[in-house]
Amino acid sequence: GAGVSQSPRYKVAKRGQDVALRCDPISGHVSLFWYQQALGQGPEFLTYFQNEAQLDKSGLPSDRFFAERPEGSVSTLKIQRTQQEDSAVYLCASSLNDRGDGYTFGSGTRLTVV
């Protein structure tokens, strides 16, 4: 597609519920990134894929967070047993290569855990 598409745009989850956030990167983009952005803060790195390989997951805050990109295109960020501190905007970005060419963000998914 023309841009990075994320869905849903908004998600309200009850504490303890599992959620899945989807990212559809720009067609042909090799690299895909997930970020977590708390209110009033800059994005914080969560994880990075090159094609289907998850090369860096050092930013995932706990083992409740899991990301996958099985066919090297669409990616899903899953959060199990959500907690209130998981409330944030989750941003996905993709780039053509690992040099950052064409680095583009999606509009994000705002997750609110109640």
* Tally of CA atoms within 13 A in the half-sphere of 61 that contains its CB: 16
If the CB atoms of residues 35 and 65 are measured against another protein, the closer one turns out to be: 35
Comparison of 80 and 104: residue with beta carbon closer to another protein: 104
Q: According to CB under 8 A, which residues from 1 to 20 bind another protein? A: 4, 6
Task: Assess 48 for contact with another protein (CB under 8 A).
Answer: yes
Partners of residue 75 on adjacent β-strands: 23
Indicate the helix (H) or strand (E) that contains 48.
strand 44-50
Size of the site for another protein (CB under 8 A): 28
Residue at 70: amino acid letter: P
- Residue closer to another protein by CB (options 33, 79) is 33
Applying the rule CB under 8 A, the residues between 57 and 96 that interact with another protein are: 91, 93, 95
Structure tokens at 79: 């959060």
Residue 56 lies near another protein (rule: CB under 8 A): yes
Q: What is the largest CA-CA distance in the chain?
A: 39
Burial of 37 (0-12, 13-18, 19+ CB in 10 A): middle
Task: Return residues touching another protein (CB under 8 A).
Answer: 4, 6, 31, 33, 35, 40-45, 48, 50, 55-56, 91, 93, 95, 98-100, 103-108, 110
